[in-house]
Amino acid sequence: MRTLTTFVLALVAATGGAAAPRCERAVGNLIRNCDFARGVAGWRPQAVTTLAFDPRHGFPSPGALRMTNQPASEAGAAICVAVPAASTYEMMGYLQRLDGPGDCLAFLEEHVTADCSKGATAFHTLATEALVAGAFKQVGGSTALRGDTVAVRAGFACYGERDDDVQHVLLDNVTLRQVQAEPRPDRGGGGR
């Protein structure tokens, strides 16, 4: 029991006090292999990125996707996901830099083909976060999709401070789910 308690306390300390819910239990999550239990299956590199499964690290448990940018300036990965309806979607993931500083972003590309084989019809940056080497940090946001969208390429991309900096970044616990759109404020004058 003491070992389990020590592990939980170490996890909470490593994540700044917040424990993440496991992605495979998140209601409505559309991402398959969200915790990389099947290695890098389904995930594709962005730019000149090498993808690998890292069994030593992860959030909340060991096992994460390692993205390495060499010799490009971007380390990133994405997965194509069919969406059940054009609506508002929220994507979240946990990123950790293993070396160097720089920015990471979460993005969604909209596609009119279920396999994302044709060019994107829209691109959305959901969040941009500055990350330094250290603990995992949640990165994500939400956006409304166009009416003709049948799939999205959901991904994360990280950049170094200088071009061609070799960067190693971990990704884990990714969710993409349909959410209620926030109500828009009434801008009318209360006419009849």
If you average pLDDT over residues 5-22, what whole number do you get? 46
pLDDT of residue 61: 77
CB-facing half-sphere around the CA of 155: CA atoms within 13 A: 25
> pLDDT class for 185, splitting at 50, 70, 90?
low
Q: pLDDT at position 154, please?
A: 97
Domains along the sequence of the chain with CATH: 18-179 (2.60.120.260)
What residues have CB less than 8 Å from 109, skipping those under 6 apart? 78, 116, 120, 122, 123, 124, 152, 153, 155
- What is the model's pLDDT at position 111? 97
- pLDDT tens digit string along 124-181? 999 999 988 888 999 999 999 999 999 999 999 998 776 666 688 999 999 999 998 6
pLDDT over threshold 70, residue 9: no
pLDDT of residue 22: 86
Q: Which amino acid is at 29?
A: N
Section 187-192 average pLDDT: 48
Is residue 12 over pLDDT 50?
no
Tell me how far apart the alpha carbons of residues 101 and 97 are, in angstroms, rounded to a whole number.
8
Q: Would you state the pLDDT for residue 16? A: 46
User: In which band, very low, low, confident or very high, does the pLDDT at 48 lie, cut at 50, 70 and 90?
Assistant: confident
> What pLDDT is recorded for position 180?
82
Q: Of residues 180 and 104, which shows the higher confidence score?
A: 104
Q: What H or E segment, with its residue span, contains residue 46?
A: strand 44-46
Q: In this predicted structure, what is the pLDDT of residue 74?
A: 83
The yes-or-no verdict on residue 98 having pLDDT over 60 is yes
Tell me the residue type at 24. E
Q: What is the mean pLDDT of the chain?
A: 83
Q: Which helix (H) or strand (E) covers residue 10, if one does? A: helix 2-14
The mean per-residue pLDDT over the stretch 27-40 comes to: 94
